Amino acid sequence: MSWLLAAARVCAPLALVACATPPHPLEGRIYDARSAAFVGRAALLDEAAATPYVLLGERHDNAGHHRLQREIVEGMLARGARPALAFEQFDREHQAALARAQAAPGRDAESVAAAGKLDRDAWRWPDYAPLVTLALEHGLPIVAANLSRAEARAIVRDPARSGLAAPDAPVRAALERDIVEGHCGQRPERLEGMVEAQRARDAALARALAAHPAAVLITGSGHARRDRGVPLYLPAAARVLSVAFVEVDDEQRAPQDYAGVASYDYAWFTARAARKDPCAGLRLR
């Protein structure tokens, strides 16, 4: 008997009473894609603390992902690691102001966010504030890691401005698919430029990490991918650990059901955040 059928039989006699939905079998579990096995938190934290560059790939609007990012950094600190904390959410042009704010008397997360010109609405600042506070409490450098919007727009208009060597065909094709999907199935007019801007962001994030002997990157899960994200632009000898927080889907019951899981070292499965579908009615059929 399947667990769904069993749950239905238990709930049926209690039709007038609220019946809890059984949890998703993957929620809260950590999957090591390299060994194709589930592991405990301690195993992930031990490896993260011993790895110079740790990428923590989130869904930006999932508050649970940010809580887990803080939990991982706390676990690394408890194990003796002292990484810089690099943020996609801060543009690199504001690094000097960010450093001054970190050194100022009476510093706090709010003053750091103001100095770094963080877009509080776009980035849901309350979700990131505890990470900034953690860095301040432990004296960890806070790094503005992202390409500025002006730089990205210039590359979209003129892809050659990225200064990057041409990508391998599979990388280009994958990034094109990502961008088309992000535009609700519509192929944008400046697709080539958007691909180069995405690659330039990954390269900028990688340079921000490489400027420190050890760093944790707070970023979107796409940037954390080993096959087409930040790891491609780090030095070949750099030791990197890529962790993605993956929202569970009721129709997908095994790790292998999730596209892209193999492009991370760990997939930490979480509940889904409530959100509207921005592409409702717009996707190509």
Task: Report d(CA 155, CA 149) in Å as an integer.
Answer: 10
67-113 per-position pLDDT tens digit: 999 999 999 999 999 999 999 999 999 999 999 999 999 999 999 99
Domain boundaries, the chain: 30-270
- Confirm whether pTM is higher than 0.85: yes
- What is the CATH topology of the domain spanning 30-270? Rossmann fold (3.40.50)
Closest CA to 265 of 48, 26, 77, 42: 48
Residue 118 has pLDDT above 80, yes or no: yes
CA distances to 168, 201, 274 from 261, rounded to whole Å, are 21, 22, 22
Count of other CB atoms within 10 angstroms of residue 199: 24
Task: Report d(CA 70, CA 129) in Å as an integer.
Answer: 10
For the ranges 4-8, 31-35, 150-154, the lowest mean pLDDT is seen at 4-8
Residue 207 has pLDDT above 50, yes or no: yes
pLDDT of residue 2: 39
Residue 198 has pLDDT above 80, yes or no: yes
Assigned token pair, 98: 């960010």
pLDDT of residue 285: 46
* Mean per-residue pLDDT, 220-236: 97
pLDDT of residue 278: 85
Count of other CB atoms within 10 angstroms of residue 71: 13
Closest CA to 241 of 27, 89, 39, 67: 39
Assigned token pair, 252: 């997908």
pLDDT of residue 14: 47
> Helix or strand or coil: residue 155?
helix
Residue 281 has pLDDT above 90, yes or no: no
Task: Report d(CA 38, CA 72) in Å as an integer.
Answer: 17
Task: Report d(CA 58, CA 221) in Å as an integer.
Answer: 5
* Mean per-residue pLDDT, 250-269: 97
243 CA to centre of own chain = 8
pLDDT of residue 257: 97
Task: Report d(CA 148, CA 152) in Å as an integer.
Answer: 6
7-20 per-position pLDDT tens digit: 444 454 444 445 66
The band of 280, judged by pLDDT with boundaries at 50, 70 and 90, is confident
pLDDT over 90 percentage in the chain: 88
* Mean per-residue pLDDT, 192-219: 98
Residue 1 has pLDDT above 70, yes or no: no
CA angle 138, 143, 147 (to 5 degrees): 160
Contacts 24+ apart (CB under 8 A), 253-262: 253/24, 253/25, 253/26, 254/26, 255/26, 255/31, 255/33, 255/36, 260/225, 261/31, 261/33, 262/33
User: Taking all residues of the chain, what is their mean pLDDT, rounded to a whole number?
Assistant: 93
Question: Taking the C-alpha atoms of 30, 36, 39 and 42 in order, what is their torsion angle to the nearest 10 degrees?
Answer: -90
